[in-house]
A and B are shown apart, each in its own frame.
Chain A
Amino acid sequence: MSIEILLPAMSPTMTEGNIAKWNFKEGDKVSAGDVVAEIETDKATMELETDEEGVLGKILVAEGAEGIAVGTLIAVILEDGEDASSLDGITATVAAPASEPPVMQSTEAAPVPEVTAPVAAVRVEADLPEGTTFTNMTVREALRDAMAEEMRLDPDVFVMGEEVAEYQGAYKVTQGLLQEFGDQRVIDTPITEHGFAGLGVGAAMAGLKPVVEFMTFNFAMQAIDQIINSAAKTNYMSGGQIRCPMVFRGPNGAASRVGAQHSQNYASWYAHVPGLIVVAPYSAADCKGLLKAAIKDPNPVIFLENEITYGYSFDVPDVEDYTVPLGKAKVVREGVDVTLVSYSIGVKFALDAAEKLAAEGIDAEVIDLRTIRPLDMDTIIESVKKTNRIVCVEEGWVTCSVSSEISACLMEDAFDYLDAPVMRVTNEDVPMPYAANLEKLTVVSDERIVAAAKQVCYKQGE
């Protein structure tokens, strides 16, 4: 059977080319690897190699021909034992339909069925049983307990990161874990985020459940490729075959007087990426319940803690295997006049602002998002239906922020319920300054939230 040589596409965008040169004549013998022709496109000259050996039986497009469509039959090679009679009927009809490139069914021509994104299924947080007792503990202790409980429940769970073991955690979040679980499961890594994040991804692909601590999320920028290109996308790219059940956790957001490189909030970065779940809790109970849920979850979870809140104390329910569902916001203060929505340490500022507003006769509802991706817009919209006014509070930059996303979603889905424009109260749009006064001017404050809330309630200056 003779071998047809079609004009190949030699790059993703090539649609046609010129035959710059034939290196062989009809009747010449060609071997695998021979460059039979040179093809020119507007971008480059490329060599057309053959994989086959035989005799060049016929050249159908002459040297110098221009604008030849990809897929056009340009030559025929005769295999061993074939003679020229096999060429009968093959003519140099460049535009013959048979030599059209075999294009796949065109998605342009056919009507494309509408596909809508599924709405994230959220398990509703179970009410605590009557008579539940509580233990007052710090956020730091709650996080540690979450890891310890999950490690006791599942031998596949292990913790790795810089200073998590012998040093007992740079921020003491992993205190005591080495003593209980040993150095096979609580692993000090070198200071090489890119490498150990990738190693964690590989371990997760093999079915283990790593909890990878970044000493701070500022350093996770060195590992961003592994987090996004490997951890987040592999399940999709493998058609659901390769899972990455792991948690990347550590402090995130502004610290105190550490300057621009160690003081920033990455929530909106990670929330941008499909394939990741992004959690940023505030209270110790949520920290414990959400971290346990994150470790149990089969997906890669970005778990953003806040250094300032590590020492804050809250009541944590004494419930066995206490988990909080991922993807569900919580109304932490009920009110009717204005909704304040925030996450992480922003919730503290919002709650403080709500107290001040109450003193002025404005009854604010405060929502703690807890999970940033998927974003629980239902809870926000329910609240807006009641209050008709909203202020988004975020300790982070405003441009392309979580607050911006909430604002846009409200325009699309709750415009009719709004009696005032959505307002965003965020950090100033600058790298974090070091000077104490400038730093204070940069970060969110309850005063700024109060002012914004009054503005959307049209009570400014009263």
Chain B
Amino acid sequence: MAKKPSPRTTKGGKPAARRKAVQKKAPEATPEDLIQYYKDMLMMRRFEEKAGQMYGMGLIGGFCHLYIGQEAVVTGIQAELKDGDSILTSYRDHAHMLACDIDPKVILAELTGRSTGISKGKGGSMHMFSVEHGFYGGHGIVGAQVPIGAGLGFAHKYRGTDNVSVVYFGDGAVNQGQVYESFNMARLWNLPVIFVIENNQYAMGTSLARASSEVELFRRGESFKIEGEAVDGMDVLAVREAASRAVAKCRAGEGPVLLEMKTYRYRGHSMSDPAKYRSKEEVSKMRAEFDPIDQVKNRILDNKIMTEDELKAIDKEIKAVVSEAADFATTSPEPDPSELYTDVLVAE
């Protein structure tokens, strides 16, 4: 991923030219956009498949939450962001980091607990950060990232920039009290925050209907006067279009905005979850008919932008990058024991 053009920025921090087309609210994307989204999402997919395999081999410890199936959400939103914007999410964070253009090597090395990992091996899958890339975690407690995201939006406003804060959280987190405390303050102070609910239908093993009295999650901001929108979270272009409107509002000081992304995760909640709470048919149907990567792939093929063979070549390249990252993650040394006591407090 280090080699690919950044979806967020170009050199000098100016918005990429291709994003201008987006501003026009065009439902269709340029060929370059489609290829980029295909590459970005495929990288996430291949990265996480590798992470899943490595978890199975005992190389990754603890919990490992995969985003497979949900790739269109972060890809579509990230396409609308610029330098200085901040994003943060829960423990299901690998894809968000890739979307921020963070090197897959250091992410995978963190998953294996190595000194070369992005948190020096002290964070693990659920606790990763990169200020340099505007990525503020990687938070392990359900819902805790939401007020923090509001705080990042508060900082943008305090400093008088037009940057936005995007905070991703799931349909399980949406029932937490701190989420509503954050909605209230965000609207009260008009903070530039985009609350992105990644509604993948299942909060661990509990389906939305079993946990939520109101399942239309885009309405959850109504009593705080926060505008909400339900979006097809399996279609990267639909996501991007909704994000374009939301970002524009926030940059203009008219935030916050709430987006409910209707999406689906193919895997269990974490690697330990056999996902017995849903039918095989349900998952197969989603994979077969709504896969975000296939949707883009079909657009590319239908519009004759690339051939099947050219797309296969991209896949091969991505697999090679992931494979190289896996080698890096398994051959890097574990942290030096002297790291045990570093970073507890900021040394002066």
Contact = CB atoms under 8 A, between A and B. Distances in A.
A30 to B, nearest CB: 13
B271 interface: yes
B13 interface: no
A201 to B, nearest CB: 5
B127 interface: yes
A199 B148 contact: yes
A237 B140 CA distance: 11
Interface string A122-153: 00000000000000000000000000000000
B20 interface: no
A202 B148 contact: yes
B118 A12 contact: no
Interface string B137-151: 111110010111111
A194 B118 contact: no
Interface residues of A, number: 72
B129 interface: yes
Given A194-B178, A202-B154, A237 B271 contact: no
Interface stretch (A100-108, A282-290, A309-317): A100-108
B177 interface: yes
A277 B345 contact: yes
B127 A192 contact: no
Which residue, A116, A196, A200, A245, has most C-beta atoms of chain B within 10 A? A196
Interface in B128-162: 128-131, 136-141, 144, 146-156, 158
A202 B149 CA distance: 6
A400 interface: no
Interface stretch (A2-10, A359-367, A402-410, A453-461): A2-10
Contacts of B76: none
Contacts of A248: none
A51 B123 contact: no
A6 B52 CA distance: 12
Nearest to B340: A115
B182 A198 contact: yes
B150 A198 contact: yes
Given A10-B272, A201-B147, A229-B140, A275 B123 contact: no
Nearest to B182: A195
Interface stretch (A39-47, A169-177, A383-391, A427-435): A39-47
A400 B188 CA distance: 41
Interface in A230-264: 230, 233-243, 245
A238 B128 contact: yes
A268 interface: no
A230 B58 contact: no
B119 interface: yes
Contact of A199 (B117, B151, B345, B346): B151
Given A45-B274, A102-B59, A198 B337 contact: no
A279 to B, nearest CB: 14
Contacts of A196: 147, 181, 185
A198 B158 contact: no
A198 B153 CA distance: 12
Contacts of B153: 202
Contact of A240 (B62, B185, B274, B346): B346
Interface in A73-116: 101-105, 112-113, 115-116
Which residue, B57, B127, B147, has most C-beta atoms of chain A within 10 A? B147
A195 B58 contact: no
Interface stretch (A205-213, A328-336, A338-346, A347-355): A205-213
A241 B334 CA distance: 19
A239 B123 contact: yes
A182 interface: no
A71 B58 contact: yes
A275 B344 contact: yes
B55 interface: yes
Interface of A: 6-12, 32-33, 35, 44-47, 49, 51, 70-71, 101-105, 112-113, 115-118, 121, 158, 184, 189-190, 192, 194-208, 225-226, 229-230, 233-243, 245, 274-275, 277, 297-299
19 contacts: A11-B272, A46-B274, A70-B57, A101-B57, A104-B113, A113-B337, A195-B180, A195-B181, A195-B185, A196-B181, A199-B148, A201-B147, A202-B136, A206-B152, A229-B140, A229-B144, A230-B144, A237-B138, A241-B118
Q: Which 6 A-B pairs have the closest CB atoms?
A: A202-B151, A8-B56, A195-B181, A198-B147, A206-B155, A239-B120
